[in-house]
């Protein structure tokens, strides 16, 4: 990386480091690279500048900086922000991290006044503030993509409210459901993920700025003011905790792991449903790839990759939990390892949501195939049992009667609905002509007409409620 604006003697002269006054020998070159974080924490540069602008404004308001000094600092920081945005900033590994790079560049631009910016703060509270600002921004982006995905799913569910498909337990055909009902199950999972994300945001949105190294500062700072300027709900309450804990990052990664787990489950179903063995749906070509050797292949790469990325996000959660498990208060260098897992977890979650939000509304149901699959596997057996119970038969007896009927149907190589009335009546004299009303797939799904049920009317009602909930965010 370029070092045009770092001191040319910084490696040879430890005092050239912004913290080097106490040291008598230079940092080993390998150690310098090993301990540097600028390679990855520079992505927080704009947040670092935002935090510095708020800190400088507060220092001027309480009289630690003059108005002229504040204006110099603010103008210099804004010019640096423009350099970074344009890709023209000279990042230096010797300056260790994003904070020292920006502070050194500020001093290069405006002289000694730049050295006053760090009054009343430490890199410890500075980095904690930057991470929270950065993560809050990503949370808001992820929330928007979650909302977009949910909106697309609900629209699709409404269109497919009458489409009958098999519902599964143990991946065995269990009872008929509607495709719309199944899609709404995905939406419910994502709805809880959204709630978790918003709850996490509340704990992210606290300002540690002003906690300094660990004990606060003797300068007359106004932490409530910097919190206000940065859009935080309030300052954090304890300076030791403010700089040392990363539970908000762990909580976010826990959210991300659950989100990816839900997306992975949906991905697994998409992979199954697009296979020739199921052939329930069609994915547009733009979400698939072909084989280098088998010209007939259409591979569902997007859901497969989302399914695969779940492992890396789960790993980031474990990484952060392990990172924090034995750290004494307050700040430790271990915490430099918090950023890469957090950054990648947020990036991965956002990318997977974008892929799903684009893909989900484009799913095309192969309705005839779904219907034919639902007609197999005796999926209306429970309806026959319920029918007998309504006729006065005890449920356990009804269960046995239906089991015998299914065994007989298997021998006849027929579905229950294909058996004649006389054949059914040999198992119970309570069975009448009206039994065929409940043995149809349409009758089965229509009978589940209650909140949370698969009846088309309930699916449409649930879609209306979901749309209202999403619109109210």
Residues annotated as catalytic are: 170, 291
Nearest Cα to Cα of residue 457 among 167, 184, 162, 177: 162
Which residues have CB under 8 Å from 331's CB, separation 6+? 124, 213, 214, 243, 244
> How far is 244 from 336, CA to CA, in rounded Å?
11
Q: CB of 405 within 8 A of CB of 399?
A: no
Which residues have CB under 8 Å from 185's CB, separation 6+? none
H or E element, residue 168: strand 164-169
β-strand partners of 282: 364
Q: CB of 152 within 8 A of CB of 361?
A: yes
> How far is 247 from 204, CA to CA, in rounded Å?
9
Q: CB of 388 within 8 A of CB of 402?
A: yes
What is the end-to-end Cα distance of the chain in Å, rounded? 43
Phi-psi region of 212 (alpha: psi -120 to 50; beta: other; left: phi over 0): left
CB atoms within 10 A of CB 325: 7
What the block records as the tokens of 35 is 């301990």
Burial of 112 (0-12, 13-18, 19+ CB in 10 A): exposed
Detail the DSSP E strand segments found in 233-336. Answer: 234-235, 281-282
166 Cα distance to chain centroid: 29
Nearest Cα to Cα of residue 124 among 239, 269, 257: 239
């Amino acid at each position: 990386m370029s070092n045009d604006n770092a001191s040319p003697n910084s490696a040879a002269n430890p005092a050239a480091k912004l913290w080097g006054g106490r040291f008598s020998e230079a940092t080993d070159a390998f150690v310098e690279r090993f301990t540097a974080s600028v390679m990855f924490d520079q992505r927080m540069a704009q947040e670092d500048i935002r935090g510095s602008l708020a800190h400088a404004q507060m220092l001027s308001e309480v009289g630690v900086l003059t108005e002229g000094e504040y204006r110099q600092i603010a103008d210099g920081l804004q010019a640096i922000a423009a350099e970074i945005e344009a890709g023209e900033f000279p990042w230096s590994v010797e300056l260790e991290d994003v904070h020292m790079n920006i502070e050194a560049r500020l001093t290069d631009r405006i002289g000694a006044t730049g050295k006053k910016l760090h009054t009343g703060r430490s890199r410890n509270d500075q980095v904690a503030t930057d991470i929270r600002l950065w993560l809050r921004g990503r949370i808001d982006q992820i929330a928007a993509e979650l909302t977009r995905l949910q909106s697309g799913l609900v629209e699709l569910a409404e269109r497919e409210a009458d489409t009958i498909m098999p519902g599964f337990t143990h991946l065995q055909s269990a009872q008929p459901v509607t495709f719309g009902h199944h899609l709404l199950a995905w939406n419910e999972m994502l709805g809880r993920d959204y709630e978790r994300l918003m709850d996490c945001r509340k704990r992210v949105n606290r300002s540690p700025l002003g906690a300094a190294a660990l004990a606060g500062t003797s300068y007359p700072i106004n932490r409530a003011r910097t919190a206000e300027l940065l859009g935080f709900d309030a300052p954090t309450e304890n300076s030791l905790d403010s700089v040392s804990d990363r539970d908000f990052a762990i909580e976010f990664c826990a959210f991300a792991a659950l989100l990816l787990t839900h997306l992975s489950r949906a991905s697994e179903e998409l992979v199954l449903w697009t296979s020739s063995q199921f052939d329930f749906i069609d994915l547009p070509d733009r979400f698939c790839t072909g084989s280098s050797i088998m010209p007939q292949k259409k591979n569902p790469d997007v859901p497969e990759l989302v399914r695969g990325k779940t492992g890396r996000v789960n790993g980031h959660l474990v990484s952060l939990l392990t990172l924090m498990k034995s750290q004494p208060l307050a700040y430790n260098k271990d915490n430099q390892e918090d950023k890469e897992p957090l950054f990648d977890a947020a990036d991965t979650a956002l990318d997977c949501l974008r892929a799903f939000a684009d893909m989900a509304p484009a799913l095309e149901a192969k309705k005839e195939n779904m219907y034919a699959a639902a007609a197999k596997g005796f999926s209306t057996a429970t309806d026959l049992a319920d029918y007998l119970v309504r006729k006065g038969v005890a449920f356990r007896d009804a269960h046995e009667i239906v089991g015998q009927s299914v065994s007989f149907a298997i021998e006849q190589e027929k579905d229950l609905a294909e058996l004649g009335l006389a054949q059914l009546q040999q198992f119970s004299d309570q069975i009448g002509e009206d039994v065929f009303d409940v043995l149809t797939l349409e009758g089965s799904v229509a009978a589940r007409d209650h909140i949370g049920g698969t009846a088309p009317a309930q699916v449409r009602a649930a879609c209306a409620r979901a749309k209202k909930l999403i619109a109210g965010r």
